[in-house]
Amino acid sequence: MSSTQTTCPYCGVGCGIIAQTDSTKSVTIQGDKSHPANFGKLCSKGIALSGTLGLEGRLLHPEIDNNSCDWNTALDKVATEFKQIIEQYGPQAIAFYVSGQLLTEDYYVANKLMKGFIGAGNIDTNSRLCMSSSLSGYKRAFGSDTVPGNYEDVEQSDLVVLVGSNLAWCHPILFQRLMIAKEKHPNQKIVVIDPRHTATCEIADTHLAIKAGSDIWLFNGLLDFLRHNDYLDYEYLEQATDGFAAAFQTARESSGSISGISQRTGLEEEQILEFFQLFADNKKVVTLYSQGVNQSTSGTDKVNSIINCHLATGRLGQVGMGPFSMTGQPNAMGGREVGALANQLASHMDFSAEHCDLVQEFWQASNIATSPGLKAIDLFNAVHAGEVKAIWIMATNPVVSLPNANLVKQALAECELVIVSDCVRDNDTTAHANVLFPTLAWGEKNGTVTNSERRISRQRTFLPAPAETKADWWILSQVAQRMGYEKAFAYNSSADIFREYVALSGYKNEGTRDFDLSGLLPFSDEEYQALKPVQWPICDSSEHCTGLRGTERMFADKRFFTSSGKAQFISITPRPPASLPDIKFPFVLNTGRIRDQWHTMTRTGIARLLRHTGESYVEIHPNDAQTANINHGSLVTVSSRLGKWMGRAKLTTNQQMGNLFIPMHFNSQTSNCARVDVLVAPHTDPISGQPEFKHTPVKISAYRPIWQGFILSKQPLTLPTKDIDYSVKILSDNCWRYELAGETKPDNWNLWLHHNFGANLEWLEYQDRANGCYNYANLIQDRLNICMFIGKDENLPNRHGLIQLFTRDKLTPAERLALLTGHNDEHRNNTICACFNVGHNELVAAIKEYDLKTVAQIGEKIQAGSNCGSCIPELKALLK
Ligand SMILES: Nc1nc2c(c(=O)[nH]1)N[C@H]1C(S)=C(S)[C@@H](COP(=O)(O)OP(=O)(O)OC[C@H]3O[C@@H](n4cnc5c(=O)[nH]c(N)nc54)[C@H](O)[C@@H]3O)O[C@H]1N2
Ligand SMILES: Nc1nc2c(c(=O)[nH]1)N[C@H]1C(S)=C(S)[C@@H](COP(=O)(O)OP(=O)(O)OC[C@H]3O[C@@H](n4cnc5c(=O)[nH]c(N)nc54)[C@H](O)[C@@H]3O)O[C@H]1N2
Ligand code: SF4
Ligand SMILES: [Mo]
* Residues 808-836: tens digit of each pLDDT: 899 888 888 888 877 765 555 678 888 88
Which of ligand 3's atoms lies nearest the C-alpha of 10?
Answer: 3
What is the C-alpha to C-alpha distance for residues 424 and 437, in angstroms, rounded to an integer?
Answer: 10
Distance, CA of 311 to CA of 319 (rounded, Å): 15
Please state, in angstroms and as integers, the Cα–Cα distance from residue 592 to each residue in 170, 692, 868, following that order.
10, 12, 22
Sheet holding 285-289, edge to edge: 206-208, 189-193, 159-163, 285-289, 322-325
User: Quick one: which ligand is closest to 199's CA?
Assistant: 1
Residue nearest to atom 7 of ligand 2 (CA): 592
Widest CA span in the chain: 85
Q: Report CA(718)–ligand 1 centroid distance (Å).
A: 35
Strand arrangement, sheet containing 27-31: 2-7, 16-21, 27-31
Contact yes or no for 520/538 (Cβ under 8 A): yes
Per-10-residue mean pLDDT, the chain, length 880:
95 97 90 97 93 94 98 98 98 98 98 98 97 97 97 98 97 97 96 97 97 98 97 97 97 92 97 98 98 98 98 97 97 95 96 97 96 98 98 98 98 98 97 98 97 97 97 98 98 97 96 93 93 90 59 95 97 97 98 92 82 91 97 96 97 97 95 96 98 98 97 93 95 93 93 84 85 90 92 90 89 85 66 87 92 94 90 91
The residue count of the chain comes to 880
Name the residue among 828, 840, 826 with its Cα closest to residue 871: 840
Q: Cβ < 6 Å from ligand 2: which residues? A: 99, 101, 126, 129-130, 291, 295, 328-329, 394-398, 400-401, 421-424, 427, 439, 441, 445, 472, 591-592, 599-600, 602-603, 664, 676-677, 680, 693
Q: How far apart are the CA of 75 and the centre of ligand 2, in A?
A: 24
Nearest listed ligand to the Cα of residue 126: 2
Amino acid, res. 639: S
CA 182 to centroid of ligand 3, rounded, Å: 20
Ligand 2 closest atom vs CA 599: 23
Give the up-direction half-sphere exposure of residue 179: CA atoms within 13 A in the CB hemisphere.
20
Residue 661 CA: nearest ligand 1 atom is 42
Cα 329 to ligand 3 centroid, rounded to whole Å: 10
Query: pLDDT of 730-778, one tens digit each?
Result: 999 889 999 999 999 999 998 898 888 876 778 888 888 888 889 999 9
Half-sphere exposure of 465 (CA within 13 A, CB side): 14
Ligand 2 center–CA 693 separation, angstroms: 14
User: CB atoms < 10 A from the CB of 280, how many?
Assistant: 17
Tell me the ligand closest to 37's alpha carbon: 3
Distance 264 CA to ligand 4 centre (A): 28
Neighbours of 841 (CB within 10 A): 17
Q: Whose CA is nearest to atom 26 of ligand 2?
A: 396
Distance 591 CA to ligand 1 centre (A): 8
Query: How many helical (H) and strand (E) elements, i.e. helices and strands, does the chain have?
Result: 30, 34
Of all protein residues, the one whose alpha carbon is nearest to atom 4 of ligand 2 is 401
b/e map 772-787, b = 16+ CB within 10 Å: bbbbbbbbeeeebbbb
Residue 290 alpha carbon to ligand 1 centre in Å = 6
Q: Which atom of ligand 1 is nearest to the CA of 590?
A: 31
Q: How many other CB atoms sit within 10 Å of the CB of residue 300?
A: 28
The Å distance, Cα 561 to ligand 3 centre, comes to 32
Cα distance between residue 778 and residue 788, in whole Å? 9
Residue 680 alpha carbon to ligand 2 centre in Å: 16
Tell me, in angstroms, the distance from the centre of ligand 4 to residue 101's CA.
Answer: 10
The CA 675 to ligand 3 mean position distance, Å, reads: 25
Note the ligand closest to the C-alpha atom of 603. Answer: 2
Please, what is the average pLDDT of the chain? 94
CA distance 256 to 273: 14
Nearest CA to ligand 2 atom 20: 397
pLDDT of residue 543: 52
Atom 11 of ligand 1, nearest CA residue: 328
> Distance between alpha carbon 440 and the CA centroid of its chain, in Å?
20
Residues with CB under 6 A from ligand 3: 8, 10-11, 13-15, 38, 42-43, 45-46, 171-173
Q: How far is CA 540 from CA 516, 545, 548, in A?
A: 9, 7, 9
| Best of 18, 32, 38 for a ligand 3 pocket test (most atoms within 8 Å of beta carbon) | 38
**CA of 42, closest atom in ligand 3:** 7
Which atom of ligand 2 lies closest to the CA of 103?
35
How much distance in Å is there from the Cα of 696 to the middle of ligand 3? 29
The pairing of beta strand 447-450 with beta strand 455-459 = antiparallel
Backbone angles phi, psi at 702, to 5 degrees: -65, 140
Phi, psi of 646 (to 5 degrees): -130, 150
**Residues facing 542 on adjacent strands:** none
Instruction: Using DSSP bridges, classify how beta strands 322-325 and 726-732 pair: parallel, antiparallel or unpaired.
Output: unpaired
Alpha helices in 313-397 (DSSP H): 332-338, 353-363, 376-384
CB 588 within 8 A of CB 659: yes
Q: Euclidean distance between the first and final Cα of the chain, in Å?
A: 45
Give the DSSP letter string of 227-280. HHTT---HHHHHHHEE-HHHHHHHHHHHH-SHHHHHHHH---HHHHHHHHHHHH
The sign of the CA dihedral 282, 286, 290, 294 is positive
392 - beta bridge partners? 96, 419
From the alpha carbon of 43, which atom of ligand 3 is closest? Answer: 2
Q: How far apart are CA 606 and CA 736, in angstroms?
A: 11
Q: Closest Cα to residue 112, out of 338, 275, 328? A: 338
Cβ atoms 868, 46 nearer than 8 A: yes
Closest C-alpha to ligand 1, atom 9: 328
d(CA 219, CA 204): 19
Residue 861 exposed, middle or buried by CB count within 10 Å (0-12, 13-18, 19+) = middle
- Angle, alpha carbons 237-243-246 (nearest 5°): 115
Long-range contacts of 344-349 (CB under 8 A, 24+ apart): 344/372, 345/115, 345/369, 346/111, 346/112, 346/115, 346/116, 346/504, 347/501, 347/504, 347/505, 347/513, 347/515, 348/144, 348/145, 348/505, 348/513, 348/514, 348/515, 349/513
Backbone angles phi, psi at 449, to 5 degrees: -135, 155
Pocket of ligand 1 (CB under 6 A): 11, 130, 163-166, 169-170, 193-196, 198, 210, 212-213, 215, 290-292, 328-329, 590, 592-593, 595, 597-599, 694
From the CA of 647, how far away is ligand 2's center (Å)? 22
The total of other beta-carbon atoms located within 10 Å of residue 80's CB is 12
Give the other-Cβ count within 10 Å of 63's Cβ.
20
Count of CB atoms within 10 A of residue 264's CB? 22
Q: Which atom of ligand 3 is least distant from the CA of 13?
A: 5
Kind of pairing between the strands at 617-620 and 567-568 = unpaired
Contact call for residues 265 and 218 (beta carbons, < 8 A)? yes
116: which DSSP letter?
I
φ and ψ of 568, to 5 deg: -105, 125
State the Cα–Cα distance between residues 22 and 24, nearest whole angstrom: 5
From the CA of 17, give the closest atom in ligand 3: 7
Cα 443 from chain centroid? Answer: 20
Q: Which helix (H) or strand (E) holds 302?
A: helix 299-312
User: Which ranges in 740-833 belong to alpha helices (H)?
Assistant: 749-757, 799-804, 813-821
Quick one: 468 exposed, middle or buried, by C-beta within 10 A (0-12, 13-18, 19+)?
middle
**Gap from CA of 170 to ligand 1 centroid (Å):** 7
What atom of ligand 3 comes closest to residue 171's alpha carbon?
1
What pLDDT shows up at residue 1? 83
In the reported structure, the alpha carbon of residue 469 is separated from the centroid of ligand 1 by a whole-number distance in angstroms of 32
412 burial level (CB within 10 Å; 0-12, 13-18, 19+) = buried
CA dist 438 and 688 (Å) reads 32
Q: State residue 368's pLDDT score.
A: 97
Taking the CA of 125 as reference, the closest ligand is 2
Residue to mutate, 11, 53, 664, 666, ligand 2, most ligand atoms under 8 Å from C-beta: 664
- How many Cα atoms occupy the beta-carbon half-sphere of 679 within 13 Å? 31
3-class SS at 802?
A: helix
Calpha distance 297→314 (Å, rounded) = 28
Q: Name which residue sits closest to atom 4 of ligand 3, judged by CA.
A: 11
